[in-house]
A and B are shown apart, each in its own frame.
Chain A
Amino acid sequence: MPVPDPALLARKAEIVRALQRIVPGEGVVSEPAGLVPFESDGLSAYRQTPLAVVLPETTAQVSQVLAWCQANGVKVVPRGAGTSLSGGALPLADGVVLGLSKFNRVLEVDYANRCAVVQPGVTNLGITAAVEAAGFYYAPDPSSQIACTIGGNVAENSGGVHCLKYGLTTNNLLGCELVLMSGEIVRLGGKAMDADGYDLLGLVTGSEGLLGVVTEVTVRILPKPQTAQALLLGFPTVEAAGATVGDIIAAGVIPAGLEMMDNPAIRAAEAFVGAGYPVDAAALLIVELDGPEAECAELTGHVRALASARGADFVRVSQNEAERLAFWAGRKAAFPAVGRIAPDYFCMDGTIPRGKLPQVLTRITELSAHYGLGVANVFHAGDGNLHPLILYDADRPGELERAEAFGADILKLCVAVGGVLTGEHGVGVEKRDLMSEMFDATDLACQQRVKCAFDPGLLLNPGKVFPTLHRCAELGRMHVHRGKLAFPELPRF
C-alpha cells in the first residue's frame, strides 16, 4: 500500500472535527476500539486501521465529505458491507473510510418498468425480499448475498452462481447516482434501457470504488421463473465432468447454474452441511435448470443423458424445492466448509477457457505438492470461473507467503492459458501486482487516464487495482513521434 503520509496522520484531530461538522452525532468513528470492525474486509489476511470512519446518511453529506477531503488532500476508501474478497475496502492508515451502511432503504419499486431504486447499503438479498411478494427477484446472487450490499456489488461487478444465464451486476443495472471525489453529483442512466452519451454506468460498474461513490442504484428486477430443478452429477474423473459441461453448452442449453467441485471441495462441503454429495466422486456437477415445468422436464432428461454418456456414476434430480436448496447448500457453504478444515484459506478467482480445465487442474495439483499446501477447487463451470481455495495456517511461519506465491502462480497460469486474473471478485489489493501479467504499460496507462478523468487527485481508494500510480499530469502528456513513418506504402492524407 502507499506509504502513509505522516503529515496527514498528525492532522487526525482536525480531520475528525471537520468530518463531524458535516456528519454530526455518531456518524464519525475515531476511537481505536470503534475502528476495529473496519480494519479489513472479506480478505482478512490484510488488515489496516483507518484514520477515521465516516458514516453519512444523505447524498449531500457524501458530497460534502468528498469535497472536503479533496480540498484537504485526504484519501477516501468507500465501503459497503466489507465482504470484498480482494481487499477492495482495505483501509489506509492515513485515509478515511466512507461507510454507506446507513443508506439502507429501498426507495421505489416500479413494477411497470421492472426496476427498483435502492440505496447502496441495501443488501443484495434485501432487493429480492422487497419484490418477491409480487413474483419478482434480483438475479445476481453472490454467495455472500445475505450480507453484501448492492453498492458493493456495483463497485465489484459481482457475479454469483446464476450469472451464466442472467449476467453479472453490470448486466442488471439501469442507473445510478454517483458522487465524484470533487463532491459533484451526477446521475448515470435511469429507467430506460440505454443511456445518452458514453456508457459511464457500465464504466463505473466494477471500478472497485476508484471512480466515485454510488449513492443510489436502479436495478432491473425479473419475474421469478415458474420452476427450478437441480441435478447432482458425480463423475469418476474431472475430465469427464468437464466434457459434460462442454456437451451441455453444445446442446444449446444454458443452465441457470452450472457448478463443479473437486473431491476435496466435495468432502469439505459434505462434512459441513450433509447435502448428500458423493464423497468418492472425483468431480461433482450441480446443474440448475429453470423456466416452465415443461422446459425443466425436457432439459433435465437431456442433461441426465449427456452426463450418463460421459460416465456419471451418481445422478440425483431434485424432487422438490427443499431438495433443490439442499443441493445448493453444500456449494454455497463451500468457503466456510473449507474454513473448517484449515485455519486459513485464500480464495482465487481466475477465469479460463473451459476447455483448459483438465490442464489447469493438473497443474494446480502439481503446484499444491510443490508448495506443500492443500487446495480445494470450486468452479463456476459454465463460464470458466475457477475458485481454487488454498489452505494454509497463518500461525506457521512462512505459510502465508507460500500461499500468496501459490495463488499468484495459479493466476499467472490462468492468464497463460488465455484466461484472466479475476472473474468476479475484483483486483483490489490482492491481484494488483499481477495486473502486468495481463496488461502492458500502455493498457494500464489508458485505464489510469480514466481514473484521472474522474479523480485527478488520485484520492479515491488509492493503492487498489493498479500496481503503480502515475500522477495524472504525467499520464496526460502526448508523445508524438515525428521520426520515420511506419508503413511508408500506406495511402496518406
Chain B
Amino acid sequence: MPDTMLRALKPTSAEEVQAIVAEAGAGARRLAVTGGGTKRSVGSMEPVDAVLSTARLDRIVDYSPEELTLTCEPGVRIEDLERLTAAKGQMLAFEPPRWTRLLASRGEPTLGGVLSANLSGPRRIRAGAARDHFLGFEAVSGRGEMFKAGGRVVKNVTGYDLMKLLAGSWGTLAVLTQVTVKVLPAPRTETTLLLFGLPDVRASEAMTVALNGPFEVSGAAHLPSFAARARPLKAEMAVTALRLEGFDASVAARAEALSAVLKGFGRIEMLDAGHSRDFWTQVREVEAIASDPRPLWRLSLPPAQGWRGPHGLPGDALYDWGGGLVWLATEEPPAKVHAVARELGGHALGLRGHEAFGPRYGALAALQARVKAAFDPLGVLNPGRMEATS
C-alpha cells in the first residue's frame, strides 16, 4: 500500500515515539518517518506498515535570544520559527527552503524535516548549511532507544557530533524528538546587485570574482534567460544576482566596492531591500523551474564547475551557491545524471520520481551501511529511502 494511504501515527511525546518504534521493531514492521510530510516524494521508500509523523511534537521548549539558541520539538513549523525569531531580530541563518511548490506537496515544512534533509537556502555560501546550526538533539533510534547528543550551547565538542550524522540522514537513523539550533541576528538591510545577459560560464566568473573578494556576499545566483523570463523576474535576458546583507553603512560600502570590481561584466542594477528579499525567496524556492514538467535534479558541485553540469546533461539549468548548486530539468536517464555529477566532483539528488540517490561503492558504501545498522539494525525507519534503486 502506498504510504500516503496509511494512517499517520502522531505521537505527542518522546515516550510515545519510543513505544511506537520499539513495537515496530518487535513486530518486524517498518515505519515512514515524516515531519510536515512535504518532502515525502524524495527518495525511493520501500513499503512500510505505518507512518510516524512528528507533526504533533510541536512545542517550543526554550528560546534564548541572548544565548543564540532555540530548543524545540521537531514538528514546529518553519514559518512559526521564523516569526518567533524575527520578533527578536533574529533568524535561522541557513535560510531553510520550503520546496512545497517545487515538490507539489501539501503541508507545512517543519524544523525536524529541514534538519533531517539538511536543506539550506542561498545564504549557505556565507552562513553554512542546516547541519552547521544543529547543536543538539534528543531522539529515538531505530532500536527503540531514547538517546541524546550535543548540547544546548553554541560551542561543544563533547562526544561524537551526531548532529552532523542526523542532518541529511532523511529519517533513516532515528526519530528526532527535540532539537536545539543556533540562531543569529537578522541583517538590518540587504541589497542585490544584478548583472545582465551573461552566458553561464561568464556568470560563473562574475560570481567567483564577487565571492573571492572581501564583500561578504550572502547570495550568488545565476538565472539563464529561460529562467529570468519567468515570473516573478520577467527579465528579457539572463540575470546574475549577488546579495549583500548587514548594517546599512556596511552594505552601502560593499555594494560600491563590489560594483567597482564587476565593471567589466556590464551594466549593474541594484534591488532595494524589499525586492531583494522577494528575489531571493524565489531563488530559494527555485520558482523559475518549479513548474517544469521534466524530472528535476539538484546537483551539488564544486562551485566553479557548476556551469559544466548542463554540458554533459542537456536540459535547462539555473545556479545558486555561486555555481555550487545547480538546478537542472532534464530528460537524461538518472544513471547518467548521477555519473556526470560524480565526474564533476559532486553528486546529484533527484526530486521527482525515483532514483533520487545515486549508487555508492566499495568501502564507503559498506561503512555507510554499518552506520545505518548501528542505529537501526532492523531497518525500521524509512527503509530504503537513501538507497539507489537502479
Contact = CB atoms under 8 A, between A and B. Distances in A.
Q: A and B, one complex? A: yes
A197 to B, nearest CB: 5
Contacts of B378: 478
B158 A422 contact: yes
A186 B153 contact: no
Contacts of A106: none
A443 interface: yes
A490 B372 CA distance: 28
Interface in A158-198: 159, 163-164, 167-168, 170-171, 180, 184-188, 190-198
A250 to B, nearest CB: 6
Contacts of B9: 490-491
B214 A224 contact: yes
B254 interface: yes
Interface string B27-62: 101000000000000000000011000000000000
B162 A447 contact: yes
Contacts of A201: 164
Interface string A373-412: 0000000100111000000000000000000000000000
A157 B161 CA distance: 10
A251 to B, nearest CB: 8
B246 A295 contact: yes
Nearest to B170: A198
A284 interface: no
B154 A191 contact: no
Contacts of A272: none
A190 B373 contact: no
A193 B141 CA distance: 27
Interface residues of B, number: 107
A293 interface: yes
Interface string A459-493: 00000010000000000101111100111001111
B213 interface: yes
Contacts of B131: 199, 202
A353 B364 CA distance: 38
B199 interface: no
A203 interface: yes
B157 A194 contact: no
A15 B214 CA distance: 53
B118 A199 contact: yes
Contact of B250 (A188, A291, A425): A291
A478 B376 CA distance: 10
A446 interface: yes
A279 B154 CA distance: 30
Interface stretch (B105-113, B231-239, B287-295, B296-304): B296-304
Interface in A216-266: 223-226, 246, 249-250, 252-254
A223 B211 CA distance: 8
A294 interface: yes
Contacts of A184: 363, 367
A246 B15 contact: no
B104 interface: no
A77 to B, nearest CB: 18
B374 interface: yes
A427 interface: yes
Nearest to A202: B164
B146 A442 contact: yes
Contacts of B26: 480-482
Given A193-B325, A384-B155, A450-B371, A203 B216 contact: no
Contacts of B24: 493
Given A113-B304, A351-B153, A446-B145, A200 B128 contact: no
A123 interface: no
A355 B363 CA distance: 46
A364 interface: no
B146 to A, nearest CB: 7
Nearest to A476: B377
Interface stretch (A28-36, A316-324, A413-421): A413-421
Interface stretch (B184-192, B221-229, B268-276, B328-336): B184-192
A206 B147 CA distance: 20
Interface of A is mostly: loop
B279 to A, nearest CB: 21
Given A355-B67, A449-B375, A450-B374, A203 B164 contact: yes
A469 to B, nearest CB: 15
Contacts of A492: 23
Contacts of B165: 198-200, 202-203, 450
A355 B66 contact: yes
A90 interface: no
B389 interface: no
Interface residues of A, number: 105
A366 B157 CA distance: 27
Given A351-B156, A490-B11, A493-B24, A291 B216 contact: yes
Contact of B247 (A203, A295, A422, A481): A295
B16 interface: yes
A348 interface: no
A384 B357 contact: no
A170 B363 contact: no
Contacts of B186: 252
A353 B153 contact: yes
Contacts of B16: 486-487, 490
Nearest to A251: B185
Nearest to A224: B214
Interface string B76-107: 00000000000001000000000000000000
Nearest to A201: B164
A481 B155 contact: no
A32 to B, nearest CB: 34
A383 B367 contact: no
Contacts of B368: 197-198, 200
B70 to A, nearest CB: 13
- Candidate in A135, A353, A422 with the most chain B CB atoms within 10 angstroms: A353
Nearest to A302: B247
Contacts of A295: 246-247, 249-250, 253
B338 to A, nearest CB: 9
Interface of A: 110-114, 135-136, 156-157, 159, 163-164, 167-168, 170-171, 180, 184-188, 190-203, 205-207, 223-226, 246, 249-250, 252-254, 291-295, 297-299, 351-355, 380, 383-385, 418-427, 431, 435, 438-439, 442-447, 449-450, 452-454, 465, 476, 478-482, 485-487, 490-493
28 contacts: A135-B212, A157-B157, A171-B132, A186-B367, A187-B364, A193-B125, A193-B321, A194-B120, A198-B371, A200-B371, A224-B214, A249-B68, A249-B185, A292-B214, A294-B253, A353-B69, A422-B158, A423-B155, A424-B157, A431-B158, A438-B159, A443-B148, A447-B149, A447-B160, A449-B375, A453-B367, A453-B374, A493-B49
Given A114-B212, A295-B253, A351-B151, 8 more contacts: A193-B325, A196-B300, A205-B164, A223-B211, A355-B64, A384-B67, A438-B159, A447-B162
Question: Which A-B residue pairs are the 10 nearest by beta carbons?
Answer: A202-B164, A295-B250, A252-B185, A112-B304, A191-B302, A196-B347, A192-B346, A294-B253, A453-B370, A449-B374
